[in-house]
Amino acid sequence: MTDPPHPAVQVERAVLGATLLSKDSIEAAAHIMGAGPECFSEPAHQLIYASVMRLYERGEPVDAIAVHNDLIAREESEQAGGAIYLHELTEAADTKNVERNARQVIFTPAPIASEHAQWMFDALPGYLDLLEGTRKAPRPNALTGFQDLDKLTTGLEPGTLTVISGRPSAGKSTLLGNIACSSALRHAVPTMWIDQESSHRQVLDRIFSAEARVPLHVMRIRTMTDADWARLAVAMGRVASSPLLLQAGRRVDILQVRQLAEESGAELVAVDGLQSLKPRRDRETREREVSDITRALKDLALELNVPVVATAHLNRAPLQRFDPSPTLDDLRESDLIAHLADTVILIDRPDMRDPESPRAGEADLMVVKHRNGFPRDVTVAFQGHYSRFVDMAPG
């Protein structure tokens, strides 16, 4: 059994295959990558793309046969893999996601000084070894990935701070991770995700549980079936080629967050645990420290012109009220969180209060503050066993 192509090569093949099938795909790819072949990592791919663009610019038909003949005329066919490889490219084509794939082809990961942060294609080999070892003994606005929420907010606008909160175990970290993965995996937006409470392995477990639909407890005890492994293999290809930078396993301060954001060129910054960020200096009260951290996150969003999404804790006041649904006033330790945030989303799950609720499995994303629009609740489905929220099924 031959090894599958490196994820980056798979993406290049998907783009080239699409250009061999339709003029629209050529135009979409050229709009992102330009007419030069230098952005392709494989020499054969450079030759093929250059041939595609030559034929296109001369107004000639472009398909596998035409490119093969052009390469023969230039004595480059053998170096490009010949007719058989061109046919393989058409089978690998992805005409529905040409622009996204083209953005991934031109994406060049910046070198990262921190030993605790890794681009996904660096992190996954060790993670895959871990899974296999136990098996032998897995600039438009950035979008959240939730249709109704994106319609309401028009996505995550650069320069804004969005705060996600809710009761313990309501799913704050899960929602933040879902948003980060949607941004990087489905929209190829360079995304930085900081998790201060979990290890890299634990975060990767949650990512692949959600992306491959393998139950989280199965990922944790490493009892995947062959069907699970098949889905994991597909998901790993998507994740490995995504521009997702993960920092996990230790607390950081706001200057470290800023340095990492600047080094990586992240266009979305996700921070799990606003109140867990280390203060840069001691203040007379905890509320002042949290206020400083919140203001620094907002400044980072404005100065780097990126959306910042962070989770924050609620106090326990909702549990003593007649209506226990969370409110904006319940944000713990600082009124400034509610004041500085552009958007505040509170997670409310009816089945946490009543396991027999007719709305079991549902969650309300309560947009209680929306600086650029109206507050409203958005109902989604909570699939905790897959570590994810998803849009409600139609009807």
| Per-residue model confidence (pLDDT) at position 3 | 55
Phi, psi for residue 117 in degrees, rounded to 5 = -120, 135
Averaged pLDDT score across all residues of the chain: 90
| Lowest-confidence region among 281-290, 339-348, 369-378 | 281-290
| Per-residue model confidence (pLDDT) at position 372 | 85
| Per-residue model confidence (pLDDT) at position 319 | 55
- Tokens at residue 336, please? 């400034």
| Per-residue model confidence (pLDDT) at position 323 | 67
| Per-residue model confidence (pLDDT) at position 142 | 87
Record the pTM: 0.74
Count the Cβ atoms, other than its own, within 10 Å of residue 216: 20
How far is Cα of residue 25 from the mean position of the Cα atoms in its chain?
A: 24
Domains along the chain with CATH numbers = 7-106 (1.10.860.10), 117-391 (3.40.50.300)
What's the CA gap between 244 and 104, in Å, rounded?
A: 11
| Per-residue model confidence (pLDDT) at position 288 | 87
pLDDT at 4 over 60: no
Better-predicted residue by pLDDT, 290 or 8: 290
Which residues are CB-contacts of 341 (< 8 A; sequence separation ≥ 6)?
161, 162, 163, 294, 298, 369
| Per-residue model confidence (pLDDT) at position 121 | 75
Residue 310's DSSP bridge partners are 163, 271
pLDDT at 285 over 60: yes
133-151 pLDDT tens trace? 755 554 678 899 999 999 9
| Per-residue model confidence (pLDDT) at position 316 | 62
| Residue linked to tokens 């681009």 | 119
| Per-residue model confidence (pLDDT) at position 1 | 37
Better-predicted residue by pLDDT, 330 or 183: 183
| Per-residue model confidence (pLDDT) at position 138 | 46
225-242 pLDDT tens trace? 999 999 999 999 999 999
Contact 306, 297 (CB under 8 A): no
Percent of the chain with pLDDT over 70: 93
Contact 77, 210 (CB under 8 A): no
Compute the chain's Rg from CA coordinates.
23
What's the CA gap between 38 and 41, in Å, rounded?
A: 8
Q: Where are the alpha helices (DSSP H) in the chain?
A: 7-19, 23-33, 43-57, 64-73, 82-91, 98-106, 120-136, 147-153, 172-181, 187, 200-212, 216-221, 226-240, 254-264, 286-304, 335-340, 350-353
Q: What does the DSSP assignment read for 238-287?
A: HHHTS-EEEEESS--BHHHHHHHHHHHT-SEEEEE-GGGSBPSS--SSHH
39-79 pLDDT tens trace? 999 999 999 999 999 999 999 999 999 999 999 999 999 99
pLDDT at 127 over 90: no
> Residue 241's closest CA among 186, 192, 199?
186
pLDDT at 130 over 70: yes
pLDDT at 287 over 90: no
Percent of the chain with pLDDT over 90: 71
DSSP run (H or E) holding 393: none
196-229 pLDDT tens trace? 989 999 999 999 999 999 999 999 999 999 999 9
328-362 pLDDT tens trace? 887 866 678 889 999 999 999 999 988 899 999 99
Contact 253, 277 (CB under 8 A): yes
